[in-house]
Amino acid sequence: MPTRLLLLIALFSTSAFAADEKKIRVLIWDEQQPSQKEAYGEKFLGQTIAAHLAKNPRLEVRSVAMPKKGETENDPALTEASLDATDVLIWWGHVRHREVSWATADRIVDRIKSGKLALIALHSAHWASPFVRAMNAKTIELALASLPENERKTAQLDLIMPKYTAVKRETPLTPTWTSTKAADATTTLHINMPHCVFPAWRHDAKPGHITTLAKDHPIAAGLPEKWDVTKTEMYDEPFHVPAPDLQIFEEKWDAGEHFRSGMLWKVGQGNVFYFRPGHETYPVYLEALPLKVVENAAVWLGGKK
C-alpha cells in the first residue's frame, strides 16, 4: 500500500479517535471556607479535587470560588455562558447555601432536566440550592408518575415546602404525597417536599466503612467491595430525599450509624449523583479512593451527554 495512503488512513483514524474522545468540561464550585486550609494546606478542597481530575486526559477542569458575601447573585461561574460551557458541575457548599438563589438553582436544574448538565453534590451540599431544587424536581416526577397517565398533564400541584431546618428522628419522612379529586374530576397532588437532611451527624474524625453495592457500575470502577475513609464526619439515616434510582455505596460507622453514601437519580433527561464522605477539616479528598469515585462519576456523567 502506498505510503501516502497509509498516512491518510492514519490521519483519518486519529481524527476519528479525537472526535470520539471529546473533552468533558468539568466545573468545580467550592465555597472555599478558610477552615479547609487545616486539611488541604495551600490549596482549597475544590482545587485539590481539580488537580486530581486534571490528570485525566478526558477531562477539562475549572475550579472556582464562591463569590464574597453580597456578590453571589452575579457569580460568574453560574452565568448562562458558564453553565453552557459545563458538562459536569461538582458542588461543595457548607454554611452559605441560601446565598445561592433559588432562581440560580433553577437554571442549573433546567439544564439537568434537559440533559445538558450533570450535578455531583459532595457531602454538605445536601442543602445546596441546586441539589435541593433537583430533589424537588425528582419528587414531582415521582408523584406525577403515581397517577394514571391520563391524569398527569392536568393534575394540580400543591407543594408543601419545608423550612430547611434540622429534623428529628420522629419527624415524618419526606418526600411523601397524596392525591385528591375534586367534583370536576380534577386531581390535586399534595406533595410534602424533601427536607434534604437527616436527624444526626457527628464530626469526630472517626473512619467511615464503605461497601460498594453496585460493583458493576462505572462510578464504582476500580473500587474494592469494602474500603474505608480514614477520617470523616458521620451522617445518620434517614436521609430525607426521594428514593434513588440506584444506590452505589453504603457507609457505616463503628457506633452503629449508616448512610446511603453514594446515590444516583435520573432527573428528567439528566443525572444527579450525591457522594457523602467529607468534612472541610478532614483530608478526605487527599485519599485515593474518594478521588477515584469523583473522577469516575465525572467521566461517566459527562460521557452520557
Q: Which single residue is written with the C-alpha cell 441539589? A: 131
pLDDT category at 73 given cuts 50, 70, 90 is: confident
Residues pairing with 176 in the sheet: 192
Residue 304 is predicted with a pLDDT of 77
Assess whether pLDDT exceeds 60 at residue 12.
no
Q: Which helix (H) or strand (E) holds 38?
A: helix 37-40
Smallest Cα–Cα separation from 237: which of 263, 215, 273, 219?
263
pLDDT category at 61 given cuts 50, 70, 90 is: very high
Residue 266 is predicted with a pLDDT of 98
Residue 305 is predicted with a pLDDT of 63
Domains of the chain with bracketed CATH: 21-303 (3.40.50.880)
Indicate the range of 23-32, 67-76, 204-213 predicted with least confidence: 67-76
Instruction: Say how far apart CA 252 and CA 255 lie, in whole Å.
Output: 8
> For the segment 188-230, what is each residue's pLDDT rounded down to a tens digit?
999 999 999 999 999 999 999 999 999 999 999 999 999 999 9
Cβ neighbours of residue 264 under 8 Å, at least 6 residues apart? 219, 244, 245, 246, 247, 248, 271, 272, 273, 274
Assess whether pLDDT exceeds 60 at residue 258.
yes
pLDDT category at 185 given cuts 50, 70, 90 is: confident
Q: Which single residue is written with the C-alpha cell 477552615? A: 35
Residue 7 is predicted with a pLDDT of 41
Would you say 192 and 175 are in contact if contact means Cβ atoms under 8 Å apart?
A: yes
Assess whether pLDDT exceeds 50 at residue 103.
yes
Main-chain phi, psi angles of 291, to 5 degrees: -65, -40
For β-strands 200-212 and 226-236, DSSP reports them as antiparallel
The CA distances from residue 287 to 9, 29, 49, 72, in Å, are: 43, 20, 10, 31
Residues pairing with 90 in the sheet: 28, 120
Percent of the chain with pLDDT over 70: 93
Whether the bond into 244 is cis, omega within 30 of 0? no
Assess whether pLDDT exceeds 80 at residue 5.
no
Q: pTM here?
A: 0.92
Helix-strand-coil percent breakdown of the chain, rounded to 5? 35, 30, 35
For β-strands 118-122 and 270-275, DSSP reports them as parallel
Residue 17 is predicted with a pLDDT of 38
> For the segment 153-166, what is each residue's pLDDT rounded down to a tens digit?
999 999 999 999 99
Average pLDDT, the chain: 93
Average pLDDT over residues 78-89: 97
Q: Where are the beta strands (DSSP E) in the chain?
A: 24-30, 59-65, 88-92, 118-122, 156-160, 176-181, 187-192, 200-212, 226-236, 246-252, 258-267, 270-275
> For the segment 266-277, what is each residue's pLDDT rounded down to a tens digit?
999 999 999 999
pLDDT category at 76 given cuts 50, 70, 90 is: very high
pLDDT category at 20 given cuts 50, 70, 90 is: low
